[in-house]
Structure 1
């Protein structure tokens, strides 16, 4: 179902979801990051290779990392989010981090992303984290508006994200949690 009232069910991702999640992630990058990072990098992204990486991650799960999918009323996976401990370099901190959140392009604006975000926040609060952080491309205005509507705000931290030798600036957003 699409439209503003799309109903989705959020559940933990399983191995069988890897192909669909990879397709959503790769298409999400290719759409959202067009003009924000080198086009040759986006064009070279391969959903099959991404799915293989996801399957490998299932074989060696990282403690505290949670992968969620949103599925529509027909059972089709239409979004994916991943969160876990905040990564400060190689050190994991007591804060939570939203590592990724992608929605099928045909479902943007239907509430899928909001539903995934709410569930990630709920789980991070339940795990006792005091705040949740995320990194977003500085020039990704649509994503920044989405995160701000979800209660996140830039905290002043910035860093370049290197893509094929090109620095793509990211900004960090933070949100206090009530857990």
Structure 2
């Protein structure tokens, strides 16, 4: 399968990104997050939220999509780290989702590589991310990409259930 085209997200991508994000949640978090919560997620509401975030953005958040055959098959975003204990200049990978039928085809890695480049160019280091503790597939993906758990854990309450998250970190350095 050919490498996907990774490009900046536009407002025209919001519906497709919402579909990718919600499909990603339903697939990746099945059995980890209450089914009722996953079923209640709305593509329309998520797309509207994405449009608002893009329109109100100040350029500090990077949103990219991955396309194959003209179809959006993945989305990711990063920006300044929101954690109060993060070092100055830290960035955060806020999201990385791939359509379930494109998992393990290089889409996620292409998105991550682009986001790592953009994070470096924007002066972020280190880059942090949060992942569900029991999401072993995602944890393996991030570990293969050089991220390591830093010991931080937080409860994430969703649908009335507490699901623990662990934080990962990776240094970003400019090439010479």
Give the TM-score band, short-chain normalised.
over 0.9
- 1:87 maps to which of 57, 82, 91: 82
Residues 1:135 and 2:127 aligned together: no
Residues 1:126 and 2:121 aligned together: yes
Residues 1:104 and 2:99 aligned together: yes
- 1:67 maps to which of 63, 69, 92: 63
Q: 8 Å contact 1:129–1:177 — kept in the other structure?
A: yes
TM-score by length of 1: 0.92
Question: 2:15: which partner in 1?
Answer: 19
Q: 8 Å contact 1:24–1:78 — kept in the other structure?
A: yes
Structure 2 unaligned residues grouped into runs of 5+: none
- 1:58 maps to which of 43, 47, 54: 54
Question: 1:144: which partner in 2?
Answer: 139
The CA RMSD over aligned residues, in Å, is 1.5
Q: Please give the secondary structure, in 1, of the residue aligned with 2:64.
A: strand
Structure 1 unaligned residues grouped into runs of 5+: none
| Alignment partners' CA distance in 2, 1:52 and 1:88 | 26
The 5 A counterparts of 1:27-38 are: 27-38=23-34
Report the CA distance between 1:126 and its aligned residue. Answer: 1.5
**Which deviations, in whole Å up to 9, do the C-alpha atoms of 1:12-36 show, x marking residues without a partner?**
0000000000000001001100110
Q: Please give the secondary structure, in 1, of the residue aligned with 2:104.
A: coil
| Alignment partners' CA distance in 2, 1:112 and 1:167 | 30
Poorly superposed stretches of 4+, deviation over 4 Å: none
Matched length: 173
| Alignment partners' CA distance in 2, 1:42 and 1:69 | 22
| Alignment partners' CA distance in 1, 2:58 and 2:37 | 27
